[in-house]
């Protein structure tokens, strides 16, 4: 009889077990049901509840506040697996994580103690609100205003593209204060389309990324206590800096989504290429198809490695504005190309709802646009390259 193993369980072992559990759930419960829910634009309540049970909403929240305290590399792998099943599931998490990151990194200790423990189980969810109808990539041009009235701030303005805006309990809201600086406020609300000076539009209907709401939110004389200014008095005028810093995590999320969707599209194409026959043999045996699949696999591997590299640097506490931008740029463009080629490999069948590849094709453009377009990423990358490579 052999002696029991004395090797201790490492954090990596725990992470690997969690990823394996999520992957099995994705294969068994998500993939078979995603297209039906997606075409009905139906919120996946049962899947959401399972994500809560997994502890995903508190995945990166520190253990001292009740979260799992997972590193960002593990979080990236989780997002990849969820997106392999249905990209919209990762969207339910992303804005929540951005909110938790902003509070955890820049909030006062009182704000951290107040909100983070409530955010770990998914029952108290966050949304992130920066974009406006006339202010998307040009974040510095936002018009939403916050005017001080004693120990309160009065918010007026309209916000656009708010994911999870209707179901959220708090909104990380960026607004312009009278000194013409941008400040972040923690706006509490009840789920629904109307709450004390906050009105939520009907869902914006989208090409893909369905099953969760994307809405317009209007603020009319909505009052927020001064204590809800993120970071307290030190937060005055620092909202845009706080948001852009937190979006580094958001860009890792988008890159991870792109890897997950790209993997799903590649898997579908590989399977179809071995099953579909033309001219008396599987289409995989045609060199044209082999070349496509070889290029798809290479792009996918490169995107995954770049994403994991950015996440690992984040975990080491390094500045990753350059690396996150590069990962998001490359992975999102690679995903779009992989999904396009997967659809072409499926031929006419790829254009039907019978095959999931049409969903991957419709979802893939979001990664090129979300958390900063590819063109914005190139501008960010160029600026950071100049900073890191000055002429002596």
Q: Which residues of 10-42 are buried (b: 16+ CB within 10 A; e: fewer)?
A: eeeeebeebeeebbebbeeebbeebbebbeeee
Report the relative pairing of strands 281-282 and 182-188 from DSSP bridges. Answer: unpaired
Tell me the per-residue pLDDT of 48-76, one tens digit each, with 9 for 90 and over.
999 999 999 999 999 999 999 999 999 99
Confidence category of residue 195, pLDDT binned at 50, 70, 90? confident
* Cα 77–Cα 250–Cα 308 angle in degrees, nearest 5: 35
Residue 38: partners with Cβ closer than 8 Å, 6 or more residues away = 86, 88, 210, 211, 359
Measured from the Cβ of residue 56, the count of other Cβ atoms closer than 10 Å reads: 28
CA distances from 36 to 33, 80, 159, 347 (A): 6, 21, 30, 22
Confidence category of residue 213, pLDDT binned at 50, 70, 90? very high
The sign of the torsion formed by the CA atoms of 182, 188, 193, 196 equals negative
Reported residue count of the chain is: 392
The overall average pLDDT reported for the chain is: 93
- Indicate whether 368 pLDDT > 80: yes
Tell me the per-residue pLDDT of 276-286, one tens digit each, with 9 for 90 and over.
999 999 999 99
Marked catalytic residue, from 333, 358, 371, 375: 371
Supply the pLDDT for residue 201.
85
Supply the pLDDT for residue 311.
97
Tell me the per-residue pLDDT of 285-316, one tens digit each, with 9 for 90 and over.
999 999 999 999 999 999 999 999 999 999 99
323 an active-site residue?
no
Report, as an integer, the average pLDDT of 255-283: 97
Residue 261: partners with Cβ closer than 8 Å, 6 or more residues away = 83, 84, 87, 335, 339, 360, 363, 364, 367
By C-alpha distance, which of 162, 144, 157, 173 is closest to 204?
A: 162
CA distances from 66 to 113, 115, 118, 313 (A): 10, 11, 9, 25
Confidence category of residue 170, pLDDT binned at 50, 70, 90? very high
- Indicate whether 14 pLDDT > 90: no
Supply the pLDDT for residue 388.
92
Q: What is the pTM (predicted TM-score) of this model?
A: 0.93
Domains and CATH numbers, the chain: 11-119 (1.10.540.10), 126-237 (2.40.110.10), 241-388 (1.20.140.10)
Give dist(CA 121, CA 131) in Å, integer. 27
């Amino acid at each position: 009889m052999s002696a029991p193993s004395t090797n201790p369980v490492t954090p990596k072992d725990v992470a690997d077990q969690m990823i394996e559990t999520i992957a099995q759930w994705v294969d068994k419960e998500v993939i078979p049901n995603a297209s039906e829910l997606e075409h009905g634009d139906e919120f996946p309540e049962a899947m959401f509840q399972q994500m809560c049970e997994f502890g995903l909403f508190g995945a990166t929240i520190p253990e001292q506040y009740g979260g799992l305290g997972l590193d960002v590399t593990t979080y990236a792998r989780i997002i990849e697996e969820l997106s392999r099943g249905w990209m919209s599931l990762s969207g339910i998490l992303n804005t929540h994580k951005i909110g938790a990151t902003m509070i955890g990194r820049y909030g006062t200790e009182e704000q951290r103690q107040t909100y983070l423990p409530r955010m770990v189980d998914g029952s108290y969810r966050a949304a992130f609100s920066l974009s406006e109808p006339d202010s998307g990539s040009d974040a510095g041009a936002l018009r939403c205003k916050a005017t001080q009235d004693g120990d309160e701030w009065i918010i007026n303005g309209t916000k656009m593209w708010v994911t999870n805006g209707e179901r959220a309990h708090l909104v990380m809201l960026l607004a312009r204060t009278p000194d013409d600086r941008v400040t972040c406020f923690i706006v509490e609300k009840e789920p629904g389309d109307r709450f004390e000076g906050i009105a939520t539009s009907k869902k914006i209907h989208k090409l893909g990324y369905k099953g969760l709401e994307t809405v317009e939110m209007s603020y009319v004389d909505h009052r927020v206590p001064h204590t809800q200014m993120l970071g307290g008095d030190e937060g005055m005028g620092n909202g845009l800096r706080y948001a852009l810093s937190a979006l580094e995590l958001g860009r890792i999320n988008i890159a991870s989504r792109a890897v997950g969707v790209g993997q799903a599209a590649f898997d579908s194409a590989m399977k179809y290429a071995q099953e579909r026959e033309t001219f008396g043999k599987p289409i995989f045996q045609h060199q044209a198809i082999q070349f496509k699949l070889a290029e798809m696999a290479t792009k996918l591997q490169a995107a995954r490695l770049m994403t994991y590299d950015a996440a690992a640097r984040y975990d080491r506490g390094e500045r990753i504005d350059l690396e996150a931008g590069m990962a998001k740029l490359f992975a999102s463009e690679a995903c779009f190309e992989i999904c396009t080629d997967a659809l072409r490999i499926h031929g006419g069948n790829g254009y039907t709802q019978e095959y999931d590849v049409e969903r991957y094709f419709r979802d893939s453009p979001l990664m090129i646009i979300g958390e900063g377009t590819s063109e914005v990423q190139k501008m960010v990358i160029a600026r950071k390259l100049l900073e890191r490579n000055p002429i002596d």
